[in-house]
Amino acid sequence: MTDPRLTALARSLPATVPFVGPEAQERARGRPFAARIGANENVFGPSPRAIAAMRDAAAEIWRYGDPESHDLRHALARHHGVPPDCIVVGEGIDGLLGYLVRLIVAPGDAVVTSAGAYPTFGYHVAGYGGRLLTVPYARDHEDPQALIAASRAAGAKLTYLANPDNPMGTWHDAETILAAIAAVPSGGLLVLDEAYVEFAPEGTAPPLDPSDPRVIRLRTFSKAYGMAGARVGYAIGPAALIAAFERVRNHFGMNRAAQAGALAALEDAPWLAHVCDEVARARGRIARIAAETGLTAIPSAANFVAVDCGGDGALARRVLVELAAQDIFVRMPFVAPQDRAIRISCGTEADLDRLAAALPAALKRARATD
Amino acid sequence: MTDPRLTALARSLPATVPFVGPEAQERARGRPFAARIGANENVFGPSPRAIAAMRDAAAEIWRYGDPESHDLRHALARHHGVPPDCIVVGEGIDGLLGYLVRLIVAPGDAVVTSAGAYPTFGYHVAGYGGRLLTVPYARDHEDPQALIAASRAAGAKLTYLANPDNPMGTWHDAETILAAIAAVPSGGLLVLDEAYVEFAPEGTAPPLDPSDPRVIRLRTFSKAYGMAGARVGYAIGPAALIAAFERVRNHFGMNRAAQAGALAALEDAPWLAHVCDEVARARGRIARIAAETGLTAIPSAANFVAVDCGGDGALARRVLVELAAQDIFVRMPFVAPQDRAIRISCGTEADLDRLAAALPAALKRARATD
């Protein structure tokens, strides 16, 4: 039953949600997963300095967090060499995407993304009444030229592009991204989601240039910094756009301990390097496990690997179910043809030992019920 | 400069924010406050069990929090004797108010509140294009009958009432609130903000009845539970309305450690009782300090006391400035005639010793510059 007092827009929204959490699956299964490698979490964890900072902040949690996230924002500004007023800190990239869409997209406004790209962006666009147009992936890559072309054709307010991409892990080099930025139509904005960029090769992220009004960059402490549960993301963009977030954001919405943890994490460059090494090693291991099972790992610049199961979405979904039966939590792309793959997050050695042991039989059973 | 790509609504919004944090004032002053008794934070802190739970969760912060807040929500359901599907957990009452306004208020819809009531509610109403109507306080109390009458006259979608009230600390008994609920106009909803209700006398909160479609109740771990920096609030209301939050909320927005802390805090009833005792003692002390200075403390059922400075808003503001000069952070109501008072949060003995020492001279200087 829908509450009749909802706005017409709210009534029109689906009650479904983009992602079901692994905890909900565990409750439905009646037992926990042994390998949690489905949500692109960073199993190598946050910097010990970040953990210590959060532990220290626990007793002080009676204080509201600084609504300006001053110390973190200024540290990020120094880290990236951009002015502090070109950065806004928010409740993860998800939260920032919500604010951004709210600021820019009026009901009926066109927005462009890729078919099968990060669904939470589409969730927000629908939530504010935007008109979401999609272009297909090109050989498992988001297609910047096609995105911009569609954006120009539709007069889109926003164009979403993740680099590296989620769920496929593929990426473009900085030159390709710069060409896309240069082609953004007048009045438009490229939403460049760089949640995974710390894992990517040098030359993936274009230089940060917040004087460019055509692009806003989204970064997070959820992935390489290992703090998904803390909810700390940030956006870097032109000062006038960044200032607009003050008009709509939940000013006291940032957890105090999370701010302290993010600040400490940012200052621990060796830990970040260590995590990136571990992730690269795990990506290689996932690719070898795939190859040993006769499957193809799609090259990835993120902390997960999409593994082509060699069939259609139904086959991949059965593989997922079979892995879950062996207590391994993984996810898969939502849209064809990318949904022929399963998406495996970089796990610990133990996680991937379990995957290596389980995958051949899971695939066999999945094929048997074809 | 305003970004020209903003929606017409976003362009119309003020760039000002409801509250400036004490940290921003400290940065401007160049030195910290010695007594932080301005933001209605709970200086007595969270339960030691909540602190321990948050510390334990720090190393696991690489995991997203459960997007359903299942364990906390079910514990709250047991605690309050209501079904779990009548509770939604969110990023503080501020965050939940934002979602609620978004769900119910379309541009131009009428909304009723009191002139000088909690400004963050009005911030959200403006943010979604609602038309905010206000009624005056009656002898420093919000006026439920007048609120409902205005709501009926305007066909308001939402009527906001805080019990106990912030910033005055005054309250109504449950019978008065029940009468207001019974008079909510058809198609309307009473937003009953009970952020401070754990501090109030027995008989302040009406029984919870989520089968009643006319009211949604807002509660928080920020005040009596001492976890303002964690950002955990919840709403209790009719299942159809609560379900609607799933359409717009930031599903993965809840900090994982905060969820664990709130769950532990809820289970520590003795600590809650201890905090309420300390708060009651501090309220008494603030009233005595006021009386010794020749001022009148307005009776309060919250963790703060509004102290009538005996003049107008300008005088109270000067008292505030004088107290800040002595490193005491307090706030004051925004709107006349309530702004003749300063609002002092319940501090530690040391905080209130400092207040007692500073207030007479602060008042004298404030009056001298009249």
Pair A55, A190 in one domain? yes
> Does residue A279 surpass a pLDDT of 70?
yes
Q: Are A229 and A281 found together in one domain?
A: no
In a domain, A356, yes or no: yes
The last residue of one of the domains, among A230, A247, A267, is A267
Please report, for the domain that includes residue A310, its CATH number: 3.90.1150.10
Residue A1: the pLDDT is 75
- How many domains, chain B? 2
What mean pLDDT is predicted for residues A337-346? Answer: 98
Domain contains A123:
yes
Q: Which pLDDT belongs to residue A20?
A: 86
Beta bridge partners of A133: A112
Q: Which of A217-226, A237-246, B15-24 has the lowest mean pLDDT?
A: B15-24
B260 band by pLDDT with thresholds 50, 70 and 90 = very high
Find out whether B69 and B259 touch, Cβ atoms under 8 Å.
Answer: yes
Nearest CA in chain A to B262: A61
- Do residues B138 and B16 both lie within one domain? no
Using CB atoms, pick whichever of B15, B188, B252 lies closest to residue A243. B15
Q: How confident is the model at residue A19 (pLDDT cuts 50, 70, 90)?
A: confident
Residue range of the domain that includes B342: 8-45+270-368
A139/chain B closest Cα distance in angstroms? 30
Are A5 and B62 an interchain contact pair (Cβ–Cβ within 8 Å)? Answer: no
Contacts of A156 in chain B (CB under 8 A): none
Quote the CA–CA distance of B161 and B131 in Å, as a whole number. 17
pLDDT of A174 higher than 80: yes
Number of residues that make up chain B: 370
CATH number of domain containing A179: 3.40.640.10
B141 lies in some domain: yes
Residue B69 counted as domain residue: yes
The answer to whether residues A334 and A298 belong to one domain is yes
> Which of these three, B268, B287, B318, is where a domain ends?
B268
Write a three-state SS string for chain B: CCCCCCCHHHHHCCCCCCCCCHHHHHHHHCCCCCEECCCCCCCCCCCHHHHHHHHHHHCCCCCCCCCCCHHHHHHHHHHHCCCHHHEEEECHHHHHHHHHHHHHCCCCCEEEEECCCCHHHHHHHHHCCCEEEEECCECCECCHHHHHHHHHHHCCCEEEEECCCCCCCCCCCHHHHHHHHHCCCCCCEEEEECCCHHHCCCCCCCCCCCCCCCEEEEEECCCCCCCHHHCCEEEECCHHHHHHHHHCCCCCCCCHHHHHHHHHHHCCHHHHHHHHHHHHHHHHHHHHHHHHCCCEECCCCCCEEEEECCCCHHHHHHHHHHHHHCCEECECCCCCCHHHEEEEECCCHHHHHHHHHHHHHHHHHHHHCC
Smallest Cα distance from A369 to chain B, Å: 33
ipTM reported for the complex surpasses 0.95: yes
The answer to whether residue B133 scores a pLDDT higher than 80 is yes
Section B178-202 average pLDDT: 97
**CA distance from start to end of chain B:** 38
Q: Which residues of B touch A27 (CB under 8 A)?
A: 70
pLDDT, position B124: 97
pLDDT in tens, B196-230: 999 999 999 999 999 999 999 999 999 999 999 99
What is residue A349's predicted lDDT score, i.e. its pLDDT? Answer: 98
Does A226 reside within a domain? yes
Minimum distance, in Å, between the CA of residue B126 and any CA atom of chain A: 9
- Among B208, B239, B268, where does a domain finish? B268
Say if residue B115 is in the same domain as residue B252: yes
Task: Give the pLDDT band (50/70/90) at residue A220.
Answer: very high
CA distance A61 to chain B (A): 5
Query: Nearest CA to CA, how far is B357 from chain A (Å)?
Result: 24
In a domain, B311, yes or no: yes
Q: Give me the pLDDT at residue A369, please.
A: 84
Confidence of residue B370 (pLDDT cuts 50, 70, 90): low
Residue A173 shares a structural domain with residue A60? yes
Give per-residue pLDDT as tens, B269-317.
Answer: 999 999 999 999 999 999 999 999 999 999 999 999 999 999 999 999 9
The pLDDT, as a whole number, for residue B25 is: 94
Q: Are B305 and B334 in a shared domain? A: yes
Please give the pLDDT value at position A370: 62
Binned at pLDDT 50, 70 and 90, residue B19 comes out as confident
Q: Contacts of residue A42 in chain B, CB cutoff 8 Å?
A: 62
Q: Which of A64, A131, A329 to mutate to test the interface with B (most CBs of B within 10 A)?
A: A64
- Shared domain check, B341 and B212: no
Same domain, B331 and B247: no
Optimal mutation site among B3, B41, B189, interface A, most CBs of chain A within 10 A: B3
**Percent of chain B clearing pLDDT 90 (strictly above):** 97
Q: Do B24 and A231 touch (CB under 8 A)?
A: no
- Check whether residue A104 and residue A212 sit in a common domain: yes
| Structural domain includes residue B54 | yes
Residue B16 has pLDDT above 80, yes or no: no
Pick the residue from chain B with its C-alpha nearest to A20: B67
Q: Are residues B255 and B332 in the same domain?
A: no
Q: What would the pLDDT profile of B75-89 be if each residue is shown by its tens digit?
A: 999 999 999 999 999
Using DSSP's 3-state secondary structure scheme, residue A296 falls into strand
What's the CA gap between A349 and B14, in Å, rounded? Answer: 52
